Structure 1
C-alpha cells in the first residue's frame, strides 16, 4: 500500500508545534479619525488593516497609537511596536 510518509512513519508526539502561519511585523501606523496599521508578513507582503479589522482569521487589531499596535488573538492581547523601534 501507498505510504504518504515515504516509509518514515509519523513523528513522535510531544514535540514542539511548528508555526505554519505567516508572522507579521508592523511597518507603519496611520493615526487620526480613522486609524490604520500597515502589517508586513514574512514574505514581505504589506496589508493595511483598520482599527477593529483582522490581520488574519485569528488576529484582530484592537488598538493603534503612534508607533504601536495592539492585537488580540486567542492567546490574549499583545502590543507590537513599529518595525525598527525598540519597546
Structure 2
C-alpha cells in the first residue's frame, strides 16, 4: 500500500495525500506533516467526514484547489 501511495504522491497534480485508518489516526501523509500539526489536521478532517455521514466519496472544491475523498476498507484516503 505504501508503494502505491508513494506513486500517487509523485503525480504532478497531487499536492496532498492523507490516509486515515478507521479510527481517524493518520497512517500516511504527503508531504509529511510535522508532529505538531498532525493532531489538528486529523481532528479537522475526521470531524468533517463524520459530519457528512462518512460518505463513500466526496469532492471538496476550494478557490486554490480541491480534495477528493475515498472511503476504503482500511480507512479514508484524501487526495488534494
Q: TM-score, normalising length from structure 1?
A: 0.31
- Structure with more relative contact order (C-alpha pairs < 8 Å, separation 6 or more): 2
Question: Which structure has the highest helix share of the two?
Answer: 2
Q: Which has the larger radius of gyration?
A: 1
Question: Which structure has the highest strand share of the two?
Answer: 1
